[in-house]
Amino acid sequence: MKVMAIVLAAGQGKRMKSKLYKVLHPVCGKPMVGHVLETVKEAACERTVVVVGHGAEAVQSYVGNEAEFVLQERQLGTGHAVQQAESLLGGEQGTTVILYGDTPLVTSGTIRALLELHERKKSAATVLTAVVPNPQGLGRIIRDESGLVQGIVEQKDCSEEQTAITEINTGMYCFDNAKLFDALKQVKNDNAQGEYYLTDVMGILKNAGETIEAYRASDFAEGIGVNDRVGLAEAEQLMRARIVRKHQIAGVTVIDPAATYIEADVVIGADTVIYPGTMLRGRTSIGEDCVIGPQADITDTTIGSGVTVKHSVTAEAVIGDESSVGPYAYMRPGSKIGARCKIGDFVELKNAELGDDTKVSHLSYVGDAKVGKDVNIGCGAITVNYDGYNKSITEIGDNAFVGSNVNLIAPVKVGDGAYVVAGSTITHDVPAGDLAIARERQVNKPAYADKLRARARARKDNAGKQ
């Protein structure tokens, strides 16, 4: 059976009070509609149509080639929204799954179960329902005495008796594609909201003698639609717990799940331990046996195995096996360190490549640099990469030693095995194996310290008398 999907995403989302279109609000780092489309993909839908309206361009440019689009110019109801897809899917034979772009928590497992029931019962329509603690505002599932589904009634059209029903319509369904578009032609807008309700299709099919079914989701959270920022945070929390759990089951120790933020696409190897206060974002991937956190803010970073990162920030960086970063290090985009490197406290790297076994242990800035293997960069040494107009490159060869508080004024090269003594300001290349010293020679004035103090004291006493 050919399976297709329609994702409704034309509504404005007024209650978000946002410049950002609703379905583009991220949940665990990924726009809500992105989560829904991923679920659709996992459920093996062959064609996916996104119904866009408000913010159509922005949604289309985010979704790109992942789906086809139809425009719903005016939002006249969910039934009307689905009808817009007829131009693309009208001629298809098969099953059409309908979802909303603002229900990020639905899983492909649930969609597959919905499809399975739908096909087994040869139904014309199967709705995904949930029993919820607070059904306020949602469509209610109407069943007869024997439990068979009769239809869906919107809150605003409910009798008092129907209002008490706690089984609700999640807004997700499977339909026989041809029957769906046929029935939609009969949907009218003579209801409390003056909208064309998709839910009416259920009753229309039932009255035509078709089988309609309901599949009850075991976890009502899957049906949660985000309408405002409160709902957004709730969805975030539930999704976050789900993501952490997935990693735990795969062998990652998460010391405090409530204080750990892992975005949807992050990859983590087994036996890695995540300490509290850690945020792992974007396309971050972490190997095995790492210790991450406490307080690590890691974005789009590729981390090998056996790595330690604590109290540090990294973005678009690469960290080789068994390296250690932090505490209080900042690896900015383009930082790439090899295996067994050490990036210590208050070190900032930017667009800098470091070979294996290189150490930058304290208080350094290394920017726009290419540093070899087994290099030691002393405390407080910095690359001077910017003259106010241009960025210039510093190159440091293998086994070089850069002493404490050295300024390397780029563009400049320090050759393999060279030695730059502490406090030097290096403006010229240092050939391999050379020793560079670029500082004033020291002068000692015998017993001068006491003289200096006496003079200073006298000045203070004079000032006091005036």
Give the residue from 377, 409, 378 showing the smallest Cα distance to 391.
409
Among Ca ion, ligand UD1, none, residue 382 binds (CB under 5-8 Å by kind): none
**Contact at 8 Å (CB) between 360 and 380?**
no
Among ligand UD1, Ca ion, none, residue 336 binds (CB under 5-8 Å by kind): none
Name every residue whose Cβ is closer than 8 Å to that of residue 375 and which is 6 or more positions away in sequence.
354, 355, 358, 359, 396, 397, 398, 399, 400, 401, 402
Q: In the window 119-178, what residues touch ligand UD1 (CB under 6 A)? A: 138-139, 152, 154, 168-171
Catalytic residues: 362
Work out whether 326 is an interface residue with Ca ion (CB under 5 A): no
- Considering only 70-78, 111-119, 242-250, 380-388, which stretch makes contact with ligand UD1 by CB under 6 A? 70-78
Residue 419 identity (one-letter amino acid) = Y
202: three-class secondary structure by DSSP? helix
Work out whether 373 is an interface residue with ligand UD1 (CB under 6 A): no
Among Ca ion, ligand UD1, none, residue 318 binds (CB under 5-8 Å by kind): none
Among ligand UD1, Ca ion, none, residue 355 binds (CB under 5-8 Å by kind): none
Which of residues 3, 4, 5, 9 is near ligand UD1 by CB under 6 A?
9
Which of residues 28, 67, 102, 142 is near ligand UD1 by CB under 6 A?
102
Q: How far apart are CA 252 and CA 239, in angstroms?
A: 17
Which of residues 51, 70, 204, 290 is near ligand UD1 by CB under 6 A?
51
Q: How far apart are CA 431 and CA 419, in angstroms?
A: 10
Which of residues 75, 107, 108, 305 is near ligand UD1 by CB under 6 A?
75
**Contact at 8 Å (CB) between 383 and 408?**
yes
Work out whether 225 is an interface residue with Ca ion (CB under 5 A): yes
Q: How far is CA 457 from the centre of its chain?
A: 62
Which of residues 24, 28, 55, 72 is near ligand UD1 by CB under 6 A?
72
Q: How far apart are CA 274 and CA 248, in angstroms?
A: 10
Among Ca ion, ligand UD1, none, residue 81 binds (CB under 5-8 Å by kind): ligand UD1
Nearer to ligand UD1, 16 or 341 (CB): 16
Among ligand UD1, Ca ion, none, residue 342 binds (CB under 5-8 Å by kind): none
Residue found under tokens 């070190």: 347
Q: How far is CA 31 from the centre of its chain?
A: 8
Least Å distance, CB 46 to ligand UD1, is 22
Work out whether 101 is an interface residue with ligand UD1 (CB under 6 A): yes
Nearer to ligand UD1, 190 or 461 (CB): 190
- Considering only 96-104, 266-274, 383-391, 424-432, which stretch makes contact with ligand UD1 by CB under 6 A? 96-104
Q: How far apart are CA 266 and CA 268, in angstroms?
A: 7
Beta strands 167-176 and 95-100: pairing type? antiparallel
Nearer to ligand UD1, 111 or 412 (CB): 111
Backbone angles phi, psi at 16, to 5 degrees: -70, -20
390: three-class secondary structure by DSSP? coil
**Contact at 8 Å (CB) between 331 and 301?**
yes
Which of residues 81, 106, 149, 303 is near ligand UD1 by CB under 6 A?
81
